[in-house]
Structure 1
Amino acid sequence: MAAPLRLMFGGDVMLGRHVRDVMRRDGIHAPLGALAPLLRSADLVIVNLECALTDGTTRWHGAPKAYYFAGPPEGGQALSDAGIRLVSVANNHSLDYDMQGLADTVRVLDAHVIAHAGAGADLGQALAPAIVPCGAILVGMAAFCDHQDDFAAADDKPGIAWLDLHDETAAIDAFARALAPLRAAGVRWTILSLHWGPNMVTAPGPHLRRLAYAAIDMGWKIVYGHSAHIFHGVELYRDCPILYACGDLVDDYAIDPDLRNDHQLLFEVQLDNDVLRRIVLHPVFIRRGRAVPADHTQRAWIYARMQALCRDLATTARMEDDMLVVERAAATPHE
């Protein structure tokens, strides 16, 4: 039997502010280096790039923002060396350093052969999917964001693939239009990346769950969510994984003592042929701008929290060889 295809999903990668300082002081690999062996073991690693990669200093020309994130251009090398080959840039920080910051980010990603989806020089580029070969199997992703409508791309303006997800009819239509070119290209594993919902909430809202189900019903194979800064439970719908929120992979954010946003996860989705085999959950701890494997105490907290969150979504996450695993047999009773 052929080995399963292993897709590794991480949450937000924020390489600005203190994380940028860490990279300048301790080397570009400092934020992700401790996780690199695990990441490089996967067939494909996918994250949300929650910053521009630029040396530019001109901030977004529109309404003032609370936070502006810019990682160094060397961040492209750091991502590549960590094994990251596909990123979403549909988020509310891709234009923090204005149009030039976005252009610089795209240039850096292209220079390091990191595929990207969700933003570009115009609406067509923002909506264009990214396709990555994994051996003979094609994996493809389209990306959307429901934050920061003034970042929205237009036919003659750079920006992100922005959607008002509260207009569920329009959102579902956009999902269907994004799926069509991936199907036409023969992509076997289609990923819908969504930067959605409010920060620091512990579960997806009802309309996000409806949208995820609609995406799977029309043919998307994996729904990949992020933005909450903490992880949510996994749901299996029609044997397809819905990762509502993958949390953060590295950042410098203040720690909420109850939500423990320094306790995070990597989601390893294992696929056999055209079906999900299982999801292995790898605990991560963010410490002073660095992501490291969680220690025993941190793992115990993360596992207990994730099991409870999965249970709330009618999904069973069980321990297997000291790892937390969600298997296809645990699919929710929607079918």
Structure 2
Amino acid sequence: MNYRLVIYLALIALFSACGQRSARKQSADVVNRTAKDIKADTSSSGTDSLITIVAVGDIMLGSSYPDSTGLPPDDAKGTFKYVIKDLKDADIAFANLEGVLLDTGAPVNYKLKFKHAPYLFRMPERYGSVIKAAGFNLISVGNNHSNDFDLAGRKSTVKVLDSLGLAFAGFKSQPLKEFTVNGVKYGFCAFSPNAQTVSLLNIKHAQKIISKLKANNDVVIVSFHGGGEGVGYEHVKDSVELFKGENRGDLVQFSHAAVDAGADLVIGHGPHVARAMELYKNKLIAYSLGNFATYKGVSVSGICGLAPLLKVKLNKMGEFVTGQIKSYRQDHFAGVKPDTFFRAARKIKSLTETDFLQPGISISDTGTITRVK
């Protein structure tokens, strides 16, 4: 009797172990799905089932601080006239709002040292309607200028964006957003290393937010504002970036951790220049989309004037299928203009090939993004 019991227990243990190995293999297969697998899924379900997301970097449409000379003569109405079609031809159109929407108010005390410099961004509240009319429906407020005007600026920005029905996240008081577009449930969160924003530096906390969103939504989009700033910071570093003594995050570690936690698309901005892209576990990471639409006080010369617009198609699992980098340039007076020389696309292509030995994607000179084995 004891002999039979031993055999019975051994068989149970064997079946259990086989089941665990099968589950681990199945989980690994999900992570390691190939381009062929994803292409097959797309072919069988049709391109109509794909999700289209358009993303750009920083937008700052002019500042009324310290006076109205920092505002464009057309009141920013023509800023996006050349890109409206691209923005509206998508389920989601994302941008980082570099500054606040506020009509009057003084800067936060610790930024008074910039009183005579053009680095305090207070866009009139009516400019929110310009952003809405252009086609944007998803906004990051997590950046180093979203607290330029303290609580008054944050509260006003929240009020304006809410009144326009624009989804947003990034403040400590608004760390995440869940919403539905065309029957697809989206989760969104935004991070930066700055005051009153959700910290980019606390990766474990960020992962908890992302995991929570993934549990309740079909597609999770993560935004971060980090890295050094300017022409000397084009390249992605696989380490902590310091800028003027400030920790601006380990962006590779953060982005990979975000995908591990459930992010389907990671959109970076902050350096004011474009950076490389990478496919990690079938999810696209854009390490910086640079600036897209900026007015006085922000340089638009050379590579600082490149304005890439990223258009990606994801399947319903959030996996990257295909993409396009559309090249634009910034002009302080004419707004965002098409660039027939494809300079933004060619720059990101070059940086991707330089910074990553195996980026998982190939970018053409005209900006087409395809998966590679």
TMscore range, shorter length: 0.7 to 0.9
Q: Which amino acid aligns with 1:242?
A: I
- Supply the distance in 1 between the matched residues of 2:69 and 2:52 (Cα, whole angstroms): 32
Between 58-67 and 16-25, the greater mean CA deviation after superposition: 16-25
1:238 deviates by 0.8
Q: Which amino acid aligns with 1:7?
A: I
* Aligned partner of 1:10 among 56, 68, 79: 56
* Aligned partner of 2:299 among 249, 254, 264: 254
The aligned residue for residue 74 of structure 2 is 26
The aligned residue for residue 270 of structure 2 is 227
Higher relative helix content: 2
Instruction: List runs of 5+ in structure 1 lacking aligned partners.
Output: 152-158, 166-170
Name the larger-Rg structure.
2
Q: Which amino acid aligns with 1:204?
A: V
Q: Does 1:98 align with 2:150?
A: yes
The aligned residue for residue 135 of structure 1 is 182
Aligned-pair Cα RMSD in Å: 2.2
The aligned residue for residue 198 of structure 2 is 161
Q: Does 1:276 align with 2:327?
A: no
Equivalent residues of 1:15, 1:72 under 8 A apart = no
Equivalent residues of 2:221, 2:266 under 8 A apart = yes
- Supply the distance in 1 between the matched residues of 2:329 and 2:91 (Cα, whole angstroms): 23
* Aligned partner of 2:93 among 42, 45, 55: 45
Q: Which amino acid aligns with 1:10?
A: V
Equivalent residues of 1:8, 1:269 under 8 A apart = yes
Equivalent residues of 2:293, 2:307 under 8 A apart = no
Q: Which amino acid aligns with 2:63?
A: R
Equivalent residues in 2 for 1:202-217, closer than 5 Å: 202-207=234-239, 208-217=251-260
Instruction: List runs of 5+ in structure 2 lacking aligned partners.
Output: 1-45, 240-250
The aligned residue for residue 226 of structure 2 is 196
* Aligned partner of 1:81 among 116, 124, 133: 133
- Supply the distance in 2 between the matched residues of 1:244 and 1:206 (Cα, whole angstroms): 11
- Supply the distance in 2 between the matched residues of 1:262 and 1:18 (Cα, whole angstroms): 22
Q: Which amino acid aligns with 1:240?
A: K
Q: Which amino acid aligns with 2:346?
A: A
Q: Does 1:287 align with 2:325?
A: no
Counterparts in 2 of 1:173 and 1:92: CA distance versus 1, 3 Å = same
TM-score (norm. length: structure 2):
0.75
Counterparts in 2 of 1:219 and 1:181: CA distance versus 1, 3 Å = closer
The aligned residue for residue 317 of structure 1 is 362
SS in 2 for 1:213: helix
- Give percent identity, aligned residues only: 24
Counterparts in 2 of 1:29 and 1:317: CA distance versus 1, 3 Å = farther
Equivalent residues of 1:284, 1:292 under 8 A apart = yes
SS in 1 for 2:322: strand
TM-score (norm. length: structure 1):
0.83
1:290 deviates by 4.5
Counterparts in 2 of 1:10 and 1:231: CA distance versus 1, 3 Å = same
Counterparts in 2 of 1:306 and 1:18: CA distance versus 1, 3 Å = farther
Q: Which amino acid aligns with 2:283?
A: C
- Supply the distance in 2 between the matched residues of 1:220 and 1:280 (Cα, whole angstroms): 20
Equivalent residues of 2:265, 2:285 under 8 A apart = yes
- Supply the distance in 2 between the matched residues of 1:231 and 1:204 (Cα, whole angstroms): 10
- Supply the distance in 2 between the matched residues of 1:57 and 1:93 (Cα, whole angstroms): 15
- Supply the distance in 2 between the matched residues of 1:222 and 1:146 (Cα, whole angstroms): 20
- Supply the distance in 1 between the matched residues of 2:145 and 2:311 (Cα, whole angstroms): 26
Equivalent residues of 1:142, 1:193 under 8 A apart = yes
The aligned residue for residue 214 of structure 2 is 183
Question: For 1:202-241, what per-residue CA distance to the aligned partner results, in whole angstroms no more than 9, with x for missing partners?
Answer: 1222132122112212222111111011111110011110
Question: How many residue pairs end up in the alignment?
Answer: 302
Between 229-238 and 54-63, the greater mean CA deviation after superposition: 54-63
- Supply the distance in 1 between the matched residues of 2:70 and 2:121 (Cα, whole angstroms): 14
SS in 2 for 1:109: helix
1:44 deviates by 0.8
Question: For 1:40-63, what per-residue CA distance to the aligned partner results, in whole angstroms no more than 9, with x for missing partners?
Answer: 111110111001011113111234
Q: Which runs of 4+ in 1 moved over 6 A?
A: none
